[in-house]
């Protein structure tokens, strides 16, 4: 995550934006240390230090 966001503290913003959000195949994000493959995460703008590397 740090390589994309540029700030290790940005995890709090991502966690808050996704807490309790239903995920594909079931489950919700309740623990910021437990993110499953295939889950979709959203973030609120601006995330400190965010830079898009996907060609957006």
39 confidence band (pLDDT: 50, 70, 90):
confident
| 4, 53 Cβ separation under 8 angstroms | yes
Rounded to an integer, what is the distance from CA 19 to the centroid of its chain?
10
CA-CA distance, 37 to 32, in Å (whole number)? 14
The residues spanned by each domain of the chain are: 1-56
Which residue has 């489950």 as its token pair? 27
Q: Would the pTM of this model clear 0.75, i.e. be above it? A: no
17 confidence band (pLDDT: 50, 70, 90):
confident
Written as six digits, the tokens of 32 are 């910021």
Look over the chain and give the mean of its residue pLDDT values, rounded to a whole number: 75
| 43, 21 Cβ separation under 8 angstroms | no
Phi, psi of 10 (to 5 degrees): -70, -15
């Amino acid at each position: 995550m740090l390589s994309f966001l540029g700030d290790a503290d940005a995890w709090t913003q991502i966690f808050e934006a996704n807490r309790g959000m239903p995920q594909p195949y079931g489950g919700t994000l309740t623990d910021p240390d437990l993110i499953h493959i295939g889950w979709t995460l959203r973030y609120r703008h601006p995330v400190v230090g965010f830079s898009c590397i996907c060609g957006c």
